[in-house]
Structure 1
């Protein structure tokens, strides 16, 4: 991969030009691209999508040629995604083949066009709803083969801090309306998603890879970074959040704070679970 001095200088200047929109407590100073770059998002925040795309574009323009893994595509559709990438010249064509519900696809067109233009492999990185439902019912290990279960020690209890933090985020994200019996299964589904993403990112080596996913998935305390180096060999990993409020220290290697989007309160009129 091209990491010549001129390219690095261009990248350094580009990153410096974005300094006004980042969280100063977590500056982005890395010039050499990591083996795994995790780029978060607030799914419906267009400003965050634009900033993230500009920064990824600058890296690619400077010579980096990673694969791009996307939460927006379910992993079992990889063969169809490969065919669409071979047959299509632009994101509009690829999305006619691939786009499903639940995502604002216009936000992802620039990244898909970038992948097609520079022939960067697209990787389907998410757990399908059907697989997630099985995990809710049967546990995290149910979606993996025996080798993966052994590597990630999935027959043992999940790390307590991951379970506790995932549970807190899931309950808050559902307006404190979930019944207690639903929460463990939903935690298992989120953990299974993170492990699948980590597994698929590792599978791209020796090629570098970028993950496009929600901020929760790229958090260092309980997300994909925790699972990426749960097995050997260890990889160089960098996590960047694109957030609407400055995060707690240490959740990401760097973060950029973007203006929040005005939304109706999703919990308005609902009575929280006591």
Structure 2
């Protein structure tokens, strides 16, 4: 009997590992209070989740929201900043493998680890919901940098804020001549994601976008380029130690237009401190500015 029990335990563990490898294990369910907070955002034509890319709790939340919306029959599509426009899983069956899904999305694991976003994508696929690449294709980046028409994509006060965000996001390491081209790229990406959401729209259901917090700002990002008659909601996941974001929003409101970041802040546990600027300086081989 002990041998049989040991074999049974081994078989259960092996099965669990195989299910995990297939992305089939469900995420822990949202708690009733969490469901109530999320339900306060519905109905919505589009729900945008802003994340901190290196926060594991944000990826768990995304998977939970996908499963919750799908279980309610309200998820029209899952759109991802992490894959390019023109790629998607619409032609795949619900039992498609992870390899098939990654190939359909032309996934770049070096840029976006599949372990972070694969569970959300697979949860949507298993529910029979299409997963769509939403980001501007890399082949169009240079074109966007030169497109002066994008300079009117934001009113001047908001444009100034966006440019400052580009400076700060690159740790004040970019030469000033690169700020406007990089701002055009940011605007082009926001427009591309908005177009993807429009194309996936279904009346009475919600298109879900997963992207960085910088792209979900109501006055600066994707929501600005969605139809004005849409019910667009923004959930911003915030690691608890990231107080700078709130302070920046207050500074922006005082400095110019009435900027509105989102509808619901979702606090999560802190993530280990990381010096992104030191990493960027190493990548760019640029000395620290005085």
TM-score, normalised with respect to structure 2 = 0.72
The separation in 1 between residues aligned to 2:94 and 2:208, in whole angstroms, is 22
- Given that 1:35 and 1:235 are in contact with CA atoms closer than 8 Å, whether structure 2 keeps it comes out as yes
Separation in structure 2 between the aligned mates of residue 33 and residue 92 of structure 1, nearest angstrom: 34
Note if contact 2:191-2:225 (Cα within 8 Å) is conserved in structure 1: yes
Out of 99, 106, 113, the position equivalent to 2:115 is 106
- Quick check: 1:44–1:104 contact (8 Å CA) kept in 2? no
| CA RMSD across the alignment | 2.7
Matches within 5 A, 1:64-143: 64-78=74-88, 81-83=89-91, 85-86=92-93, 89-97=96-104, 98-100=106-108, 101-139=110-148
Q: 1:41 aligns with which of 51, 56, 63?
A: 51
Change (3 A) 1:36 1:17: closer
Q: Which residue pairs with 2:175 in the alignment? A: 179
Mapping 1:1-274, distance limit 5 Å: 14-17=31-34, 30=40, 32-78=42-88, 81-83=89-91, 85-86=92-93, 89-97=96-104, 98-100=106-108, 101-139=110-148, 156=152, 158-207=154-203, 208-229=206-227, 234-244=229-239, 245-246=242-243, 247-248=245-246, 250-268=260-278, 271-273=287-289
Higher relative contact order (CA 8 A, sep 6+): 1
Is 2:66–2:75's contact at 8 Å kept on the other side of the alignment? Answer: no
Which deviates the most, 186-195 or 197-206? 197-206
User: Which structure 2 segments of 5+ residues have no match?
Assistant: 1-29, 250-259
Number of aligned residues: 236
Secondary structure of the corresponding residue to residue 75 of structure 2:
coil
**Structure 1 range deviating more: 115-124 or 177-186:** 115-124
Pair 1:121–1:157, CA change in 2 (3 A): closer
Return 5+ residue gaps in structure 1 as ranges. 1-12, 20-26, 142-153
Conserved 8 A contact 1:70-1:211:
yes
TM-score with structure 1 setting the length: 0.76
Report the counterpart of residue 4 of structure 1 in structure 2.
none
| Larger CA Rg, structure 1 vs 2 | 2
1:69 touches 1:211 (CA, 8 Å); kept in 2? yes
Give the number of the structure whose residues are more often helix, by fraction: 2
Alignment check: 8 A CA contact 1:178 1:273 kept: no
Structure 2 equivalent of residue 22 of structure 1: none
